[in-house]
Structure 1
Amino acid sequence: MTQPQTFSIASIPGDGIGGEVVAAGLRVLDTIAKQSEGTVEFEVTEYPWSSEYYLKNGRYIPEGGLEELEKHDAIYFGAVGSADVPDHTSLWGLRLAITQPFDQWANIRPVTFLPGVESPLRKADDTELDWIVVRENSEGEYAGMGGRNLSGRGPGNEVALQTSLHTEKGCERIIRFAFDIARTRDVKKVSSVTKSNAQQYGMVLWDEVFVRVAQDYPDVETESVLVDAMSAKFVLYPEQLSVVVASNLHADILSDLGSALAGSLGLAASANLNPERRFPSMFEPVHGSAPDIAGQGISNPIGAISSAALMLDQFGLTAEADRVRRAIENATRAGILPRDLGGESNTVEMTEAIVAQLEAIHAEDLAAV
């Protein structure tokens, strides 16, 4: 009897709606495992690291926590953020405390326009729109370099320095990663985003590396766009986009804009990748902990379920990942939508609608054999 492919997943629901949406994603993964008829299994270990855990223990990740995570094939993350803990403390205490030591330097955030979801963009009504934001995820504006000084001189005299770090190695590896993705797409184009007219050192280095790397990809169209102009392009000319690569901060902002244009931040999926696979990668929805709706059971699970599909891609289960994406599209096309998209479905109802579509797709595939 053939042994099943078994994938070990570390689940970190975190704060707010994180637990609700992670549960939705795991429900979908459980369905995928059942449909495999014993050829694929997911072993899930949950870690209770959250702001509540921090307030009780003085830290988000316990001693030896990273070593424990390193044993798994992937990390499935919900959200972090609480009114009881400053945002910079929670972000650096949990999410960045995983992505940085695990060198998850490539962050991908697809911008997907789903059928049946109304977009604020008029072009979305009659134009096929689909692009990916590739985010440098290890340095840039989130390198954590700097400090606060001179407070001893009295009120009004403190100085805060926040230094962006751009290395040639860091720029090159994320830019090459973006080009490699572009080669897999129908539209082979990479748009590089900087603010090099004002940031004349780090961003100019990025521009120079982009020009050099582009020479190795003569089959891929390129453009370099300032971040303010790219913000406008997202709205005015989104049909010109395929792969957008940018620094940590710029890509963070632009990807949120892209998701809002697609209909809601609740749709946004992301993957924090260590492409060399020296460490596990982490998959998470972009929407955050949403404390205003936490505990009400009305959160949008699509971003988390789409992130689970990205995890399946990382596992090499691309056919299964495509089925999950088709199931999401079929559900929204049928008019089944969560509250943030103007629908009436709560978290569980939306999840079950996607599971029902998964089962229908699986039945069709079996019938076609």
Structure 2
Amino acid sequence: MHRITLIPGDGIGPAIVEAAVQVIDATGVSIDWDRQLAGMAAVEQLGNPLPEETLASIRANRLCLKGPLTTPVGGGYRSVNVTLRQAFNLYANVRPAVSFEGTDTIFRDVNLMTVRENTEGLYAGIEHFIQVDGEKIAAESVAVVTRKGCERIIRYAFDYARKAQRKRVTLVHKANILKCTSGLFLEIGREIAKEYPDIAFDDRIVDACCMQLVMKPESFDVIVTTNLFGDILSDLAAGLIGGLGLTAGANIGTDAAIFEAVHGSAPDIADKGIANPTAMILAGAMMLEHLGELAAARRIEQAVRDVIREGKSVTPDIKPGSTCGTRDIAAAIIDKVRG
């Protein structure tokens, strides 16, 4: 029996999380779901976007499946997602992008993994205004890049590549301009690459990488990069395979892991029954793989691919004009999982 913290989230979150739970339960893996609140749902009920009860649950279970969250505007609230990553030192953000047969994207051979440093860089949130006579005349933001942070994320990428039998790691940087922060990241990457002679290594400047990704994405295998660049590149990679609705992500640390759909809470379509739960379901598959439930994870992944390829029970974002909704695609995936 696995005990897992479950955060339904906001907007379309509760609907797609429920779909994911049903699919996971259909595999037969025994899970005790510990339901907790975060985001706007927590503000409305408890007056706090990240209650101590939720933090305590993740701390105890060390594993969480999380729906998309809305950070309240104003009131001094920090991003709940960023806070969770820093609270549990979830240093590795891992996002696969693999082409789906049955989508209308022009790219058919994408199969890459973006490994993003998740706690440092500009997202450390160290910034301030410079004021003169009460007027904001400038703003400064500090990008913190440590040797420890670089080493652990780059080593994670190489270890993942070896375990997944991938052949190349590409380090993405801007060391030609950011000679200290990106320069350190690149320097450490080159050092660590020597320890993995079985894995090919190269590096790309981030702007050139963006161009190459949309020209020849099949040439990339594993990308490892810093926080800001990883945020941008992983969304670009999602666009290559059909969008964020098909993209799952994992936030991995030494003592905890949080799995999620990487898209937002989409309040404009909340409660309409048309949200695509694919990303959330695939996040569940990633979580099962992390737990060692490999057979169940593969069944879910294959079921999702089969349903999308057939195109009979998919949501309108996958097949324009479709009248199917969240429950329809979830039911079709469950039928495939049960075989």
Aligned to 1:340: 317
Q: TM-score, normalised by structure 2?
A: 0.94
Which residue in the other structure is 1:282 paired with? 258
Instruction: Note closer, same or farther for the CA distance 1:27–1:64 as it changes in structure 2 (3 Å cut).
Output: closer
Aligned to 1:170: 149
How many pairs does the alignment contain?
336
**Counterpart of 2:27 in structure 1: which amino acid?**
I
1:141 aligns with 2:122: yes
Any gaps of 5 or more consecutive residues in structure 1?
A: 1-5, 34-39, 361-369
How far did 1:70 drift?
0.9
Report 1:1-369 matches (<5 A): 6-33=1-28, 40-54=29-43, 57-81=46-70, 85-86=73-74, 89=77, 91=79, 94-121=80-107, 124=108, 128-150=109-131, 153-155=133-135, 157-274=136-253, 276=254, 278=255, 280-336=256-312, 337-343=314-320, 344=322, 345-360=324-339
Distance 1:70 1:160 in 2: 35
Structure 1 306/171 Cα, relative in aligned 2: closer, same or farther at 3 Å? Answer: same
TM superposition score normalised by structure 1: 0.87
Deviations 1:171-205 (A, max 9, x none): 01110111111123454100100111111111000
Verify the 8 A CA contact 2:161 2:168 in the aligned structure 1: yes
Equivalent-residue separation in structure 2 for 1:167 and 1:77 (angstroms):
28
What one-letter code is carried by the residue in structure 2 that aligns with 1:117? Answer: T
Deviations 1:27-85 (A, max 9, x none): 1111112xxxxxx4100121122214325644212245422321114111111126x62
* Counterpart Cα distance in 2 of 1:129 and 1:101: 33
- CA–CA separation in structure 1 for the residues paired with 2:250 and 2:145: 21
CA distance in 2, matches of 1:67, 1:95: 16
Aligned to 1:365: none
Counterpart residue identity of residue 341, structure 1: I
User: Percent identity of the aligned residues?
Assistant: 35
Q: Is the 8 A contact 2:92 2:118 kept in 1?
A: yes
Q: What are the Cα deviations for residues 324-358 of structure 1, in whole angstroms up to 9, with x where unaligned?
A: 10111111111132211125221110111111111
Rounded Cα–Cα distance in structure 2 between residues aligned with 1:16 and 1:217: 44
1:141 aligns to what SS in structure 2?
Answer: strand
SS in 2 for 1:135: strand
1:86 to partner: Cα distance? 4.9
* Deviation readout 1:256-303 (Å, 9 max, x if unpaired): 1111110121001001011x3x2x210000111112211211111110
Shift in CA distance, 86/249, structure 1 to aligned 2, threshold 3 Å: farther
Opposite residue 252 of structure 2, the aligned amino acid is L
Instruction: Compute the RMSD of aligned alpha carbons.
Output: 1.8
Contact residue 119 and residue 262 of structure 1 kept, 8 A = yes
- Structure 2 unaligned runs (5+)? none
Instruction: Flag the 1:69–1:185 CA change in 2: closer, same or farther, 3 A.
Output: closer
Instruction: For residue 154 of structure 1, report the CA deviation from its aligned partner.
Output: 3.6
